[in-house]
Amino acid sequence: MTISVNQLEEARRALEAPLFADLAGDAAVSFEFFPPKTEKMEEALWETVRTLEPFAPEFVSVTYGAGGTTRDRTHATVARIERETSMPAAAHLTCVEASRGEIDEIAEQYWAAGVRHIVALRGDAPGAGGFVPHADGYTNAADLVAGLKRLHPFEISVAAYPECHPDSKGHSDDLDNLKRKLDAGATRGITQFFFEPETFFRFRDRAAAAGIDAPMVPGIMPVTNFQSIVKMSAMCGTEVPAWMGRLFEGLEDHAGARGLIAATLAAELCRKLYAGDVRNFHFYTLNRAELSFAICHLLGLRAKTAAKAAAA
């Protein structure tokens, strides 16, 4: 990894106290939500949406359940965000258990609703059987990207894996797959979450060495429930550092303390990434605003009120 003078200066500042003093506010952010299952969850989601909207994110994405289980709710949520907010909405779309015709129809509905950004994913099949392409479906994410591009000039984000997708044979195989998705027409990669900045920097170096020059946006997951994140990490191949487990020991009945530690760890990760010349961050919000809001604020971003936004 080649270190620039600017990066060295940022590294020096990152080691000085206070850690977040006088950042330039030049970071760009995006947020991920999931479609609500109940009326109460929908109210909570929209409170989160309205709380984070003043940060003027580059886009916000809405997930798509395994096997299309949230298809209608995803579409309704994406369409409402596009219709009622100032934030560009991105819809997750997968290859799982659907024909090309069915997926193309969903994409056409998004285009008709004004949605111009798709997060194209292979997806994981429900259960433990692993991914099996539909007989008449898209075979993988690169195939899906190419199909979407044939329909309309969508902006397309795809998944990237700093620690390798669980189904890949290794880093080289993983990067080849990422390159196929980008060559098919994807705009950027959004990474799986990770917990140490060196994980992202090593991935970024490998991608550059493989000739990948598209933006790679780190996915940031604030950890509020350690046991849940351990299970999730095991499924997606993310290493959970031993020191993190020790930090959350004894906090099972202290939700407030867990939140403070989660914000501290995620903010420190973002600050170290910022020192390494990262300026784009994608937050997995879990439909909660407070942690992402605090981290954005620490990074020098300021939420604009409606009046200020209109005057800008």
How far is Cα 306 from Cα 41, in angstroms, rounded to an integer? 25
Compute the CA torsion angle 187, 63, 229, 139 (nearest 10 deg): -60
Residue 265 CB burial class (10 angstroms; 0-12, 13-18, ≥19): middle
d(CA 113, CA 154): 13
Q: Which two tokens stand for residue 31?
A: 């947020």
Residues recorded for the chain:
312
Query: Using an 8 Å Cβ cutoff, are 293 and 279 in contact?
Result: no
Q: What DSSP line would sit under 89-130, residue for residue?
A: EEEEEE-TT--HHHHHHHHHHHHHTT--EEEEE----SSSS-
Element (H, E) at 158: strand 155-160
Rounded to 10 deg, the angle between the 255-275 and 5-15 helix axes is 150
Q: Structure tokens of 4?
A: 């620039």
Furthest C-alpha separation in the chain: 58
32 counts as catalytic: yes
From 10, 16, 32, 43, active-site residue = 32
For 224-252, the DSSP string reads S-HHHHHHHHHHHT----HHHHHHHTT-T
- The catalytic site residues sit at 32
